[in-house]
Amino acid sequence: AIDPPSAILRLAGDDRQRMAQLGPDEWLIVSREPYDPGNALDGTRHALVDISERLLAIGLQGPAARTVLAGGCPLDLHEDRIEPGFASRTVMGKADIVLECLAGDSFILHTNRSFMEYLWLLLVELGREHGVKTT
């Protein structure tokens, strides 16, 4: 089980399982295996809803990552404002996303399945002018 993050807009956990606190009473749990909260949520009123079929994720990393994101995201993406361990709901172009900063130049963008193609094409277009290659 993962202990919840220490504050809103923060991540806790590791590459295998992590939890983002997106609001006072909203968390997103990302796990490579079925999530078992164990005792982590004891004494807390909660509901766990599996949305793994709804959300998809894109990773973006490298020296141009923040610049590419800034082309479509209204957040101040300067490294003094968005550090590793940051997570927030925001938009990228017209797509609602959850943005996670895993390292200085490493990000994960989660979006609804219906927006994935749009988000991918937007990132490819924004990245093209900065020499970003897709894999």
**Nearest residue to 51 (alpha-carbon basis) of 73, 27, 24:** 27
* Dist. CA 21–CA 106, nearest whole Å: 19
Residues 65-118 pLDDT 10s: 999 999 999 999 999 999 999 999 999 999 999 999 999 999 999 999 999 999
How many helical (H) and strand (E) elements, i.e. helices and strands, does the chain have? 2, 7
What structural domains and CATH numbers belong to the chain?
10-39+55-128 (3.30.70.1400)
pTM: 0.91
Instruction: Report residue 33's pLDDT band, with 50, 70 and 90 as the boundaries.
Output: confident
Residues 1-12 pLDDT 10s: 788 898 999 999
Q: What is the pLDDT of residue 53?
A: 87
The answer to whether 58 and 95 are in contact (CB under 8 A) is no
Of the candidate ranges 16-20, 34-38, 81-85, 116-120, the one whose mean pLDDT is the lowest: 34-38
The answer to whether 19 and 41 are in contact (CB under 8 A) is no
